[in-house]
Structure formats: structure tokens, C-alpha cells
Structure 1
Amino acid sequence: MMDFKTLAGDRYATKKYDPSKKISNELVAQLKEILRLSPSSINSQPWRFTFVSDQKLKEELAPFSFHNASKLKDASHIVVFSVIDNLEKFESENIASLPEGAIAYYNNNIKPGSEEQIKAWMAHQVYLALGFFLSGAASLGIDSTPMEGVNAAEYDRVLGLKDHKTLFAVALGYRDPDDFNQPSLKPKSRIDIDKVIYSI
């Protein structure tokens, strides 16, 4: 099994997928379970993850994906990450079922904020799931591309989302051997460790 440091070095944002290679149903099931197990503050889980494999639906979403259109068409699957957009639903279905201490934390520290602030906190939880998911996919040998460059309102319309709002999507599949962005052809560029990591 690949150690996590090596996995982190090898994972990258795939720019070109091989449309002939599809993710097996078994691996898709594992990806779904990884998402279900994603961490969130006070276990609030204010999210929905929509897996799209139907080619016609991917083609319908492609025009609303800007420079990511080709990825939608060629990737095996697209996962749309959305956040609950109905505070009443969130509090009655998610928060109310939490342990007493978690409810108290929400009521004392999150709920006093404005609706905009509360929804921003909720969106942050979905981004936690994103990082978890990208690493999980890499551990299964699956390539991925996180995509904020989508028209969220049109995604919501096409997918028929209610009480949820699209934040971003992730393309999943297997890289084209000629993908220019893979680390073997284009080494990763990161800020020097001593400029981003501090020890006190």
C-alpha cells in the first residue's frame, strides 16, 4: 500500500481523462462510503453529494462548466457537492439529532450569527469533505479534478436540487496517458516548506 506522503506527491488535478476507462461499481460504492464518513464540525454534515455517470446528463451540465466542459464529458463520474440552503431544515434534521453538547455549541456559537455567516460555516464543512474525498479517491487509484468553475444555479436546475445549493463538483476517472499536468510530466509546484510551516 502506498504511504500517504507518496500519495500526496502523486495526486494532482487531472486535466485530461481517458473516456474509455470507467470506475467500477465496487469502487464507486467505496467512494460513496468515504464521503459518508467525511468529517464536519460537531458532525453537522450539512451536505448532499450527487454522483453523475449518465453521459447525457454530463453533456447537459458541460456548458455550465466553463473551461471544465471537456472534463465532464470524458470523466467516468462527476460528483456534485452541495450544501443545505434551508436553515430551518438544517436545524430540524441535522442539528436537532446531535448530542446535547454539540447542540449547545451550535446554539451558542453559530446560530447567533447572520444567515450569511451561518451558511458560510456550513459551506466550510463541505470543503472539509472535499479534501477528505480527494485523498480517498487517490488512495483507490482514481484520478480527480476539483472544479469550482461551474454555474451553480444551472447545476441546481439541471439536477433538480431543492433545499440544497451547488458549491462545486469533482470529476473522477482515469487520466489520459498524455495529460500534460501529471507530475511525471509537470513536476508539482509548491511554496517552500519553511515559508508555510512554522514550529513554535
Structure 2
Amino acid sequence: MSTLNQVDLNDFYTVLKERHSVRAYDPTVKIPREELKEIVELSLSAPSSSNLQPWRFLIIDEPQLKEKLLPIANNQQQVVDSAAVIAVLGDLRSYERAEEIYAEAVRIGAMTEEVKANFVERLQKGYGSMGTDRLYQISLLDAGLVSMQLMLIAKAKGYDTVPMGGYNAEQFAEAFEVPETLKPILLIAIGKAAKPAHATPRLSADRVTYFNAFQK
């Protein structure tokens, strides 16, 4: 391994070690929208089912809208003190963008037009025949993958985050006029910690890992 790669790897380990959920934020810190967009952009390399990328993001950074969100999120203070709250939603009709996605695969030479056409047809037929519950389950997994990547990227850029599942998704959808095809999955507060975050205990790999069979 080259010296440069070793340095990069050590930096990555540092991000993993130092990323903690932060609930106390410095309310004076603002994050430029271009930087928020960059964090989202970098997170989009996360994998997703059939590469359909069902994640959608609503970034809430206006103070009055964060105040509107506060009671919906069970009055968690980080909602208003953080620089922004990123709502991660799942698009239940993401398969409708298959043509757009795989046309790009053809453009970069990753597949032929014929392969693309057949693949897109199968995807649209297969996902289009799934029920809402199944599509939602798929989007839950994919949203989790992109959200974790987003939080690590934010930490690498010097920001802190906390994922929040403690909010009323139905009220959120109504208050922010979320289209019916988009389902709220989680909220991520992002900003600068007002005080150092503390590590939380984790079970060891030996406690959660098995090889080939489960112990009885």
C-alpha cells in the first residue's frame, strides 16, 4: 500500500472513530447551501437496489421552517439549533427513472443500447408490479445506505450529525406538502456540536458475528 493510500485510510478510520450522534448544536453555525448540496452529491455513490436510487432529500434550513418542524419531531432541540435538517425520503416510483439512469450507463460504455432496453423493461415491469409496502421496504434499505454515507461525509468535512426516527411522518408529509409517491424515512440534523460528543458503547464483533452457522 502506498504512503498516500495509507494516509487516506488512516483519515477514514479517524472519521469512523470520531463520528458520534450529536444532539447539542451551536445555533450560530450556518452551512452554505452549496456545501450542503456537495455533501448530498458525494453521498449519492451509495449502492441501491437495481441502482434505482430511490432516495430524495428535502433540506430544511430556514429558521421558521425548522420551528414548524420542531413539534413534529417531538420538540427535539437539535431541529432548531442545527444548521439544517435533511429529510431523507423514499420515492416509490423511482423505477420510472430507469430509462434516464441506464441511458447514462450506455453513454459511458457500461452497457449496450440493446441490453439497456431489455433491462429497463424488466425493471419497470418488475418494480411496477410490486405493492406499496414492498417498494417502501426497498426504499428503507437504500435510504439507510445513503444516510450513513452522508453522515460520514459530513464528519469528514468537519460537521456533526444525528439521525432521527423520532418524528411523526404523517404530520411531516402534511406540513411540508410531500408528494404521495414520496415517503419520509428519517431526518438528519447537521451542524457543529456545541460541546464534544461522547462515544457510546458497542458490542464487540465476537458478540454479533457468526461463521457459517449460528451457535446453539
TM-score where L is the length of structure 2 = 0.76
**Corresponding position: 1:60 with 2:68:** yes
Counterpart residue type for residue 187 of structure 2: A
In structure 1, what is the Cα distance between the partners aligned to 2:130 and 2:122?
13
Contact 2:98 2:124 in 1 (8 A): no
Alignment coverage as a number of residue pairs? 189
**Corresponding position: 1:121 with 2:129:** no
Question: What does 1:143-162 correspond to in 2, within 5 Å?
Answer: 143-162=160-179
Q: 1:115 to 1:157 in 2, by over 3 A?
A: closer
In structure 2, what is the Cα distance between the partners aligned to 1:26 and 1:111?
35
Aligned equivalent of 2:3 = none
In structure 1, what is the Cα distance between the partners aligned to 2:60 and 2:68?
11
Counterpart residue type for residue 193 of structure 1: A
Query: Structure 1: where are the runs of 5+ without partners?
Result: none
In structure 2, what is the Cα distance between the partners aligned to 1:5 and 1:108?
42
Counterpart residue type for residue 47 of structure 2: P
Aligned equivalent of 1:164 = 182
**Corresponding position: 1:30 with 2:32:** no
Counterpart residue type for residue 137 of structure 1: A
Any idea what the Cα deviations from partners look like across 1:48-70, whole Å, max 9, x if unmatched?
101111000000010000152x1
Identify which of 168, 172, 191 aligns with 1:173. Answer: 191
TM-aligned CA deviation for residue 78 of structure 1? 0.7
Larger radius of gyration: 2
Q: 1:67 to 1:55 in 2, by over 3 A?
A: closer
**Corresponding position: 1:77 with 2:89:** no
In structure 2, what is the Cα distance between the partners aligned to 1:140 and 1:66?
28
Contact 1:82 1:166 in 2 (8 A): yes
Quick one: percent identity of the two aligned structures? 23
In structure 1, what is the Cα distance between the partners aligned to 2:141 and 2:39?
20
Contact 2:72 2:172 in 1 (8 A): yes
In structure 2, what is the Cα distance between the partners aligned to 1:171 and 1:56?
16
Identify which of 186, 192, 197 aligns with 2:204. Answer: 192
Contact 1:58 1:72 in 2 (8 A): yes
In structure 1, what is the Cα distance between the partners aligned to 2:36 and 2:158?
12
The CA RMSD measured in Å over matched residues stands at: 2.4
Question: What does 1:133-148 correspond to in 2, within 5 Å?
Answer: 133-148=150-165
Contact 1:45 1:94 in 2 (8 A): no
In structure 2, what is the Cα distance between the partners aligned to 1:138 and 1:102?
37
**Corresponding position: 1:42 with 2:50:** yes
TM-score where L is the length of structure 1 = 0.82
Query: Structure 2: where are the runs of 5+ without partners?
Result: 1-7, 103-115
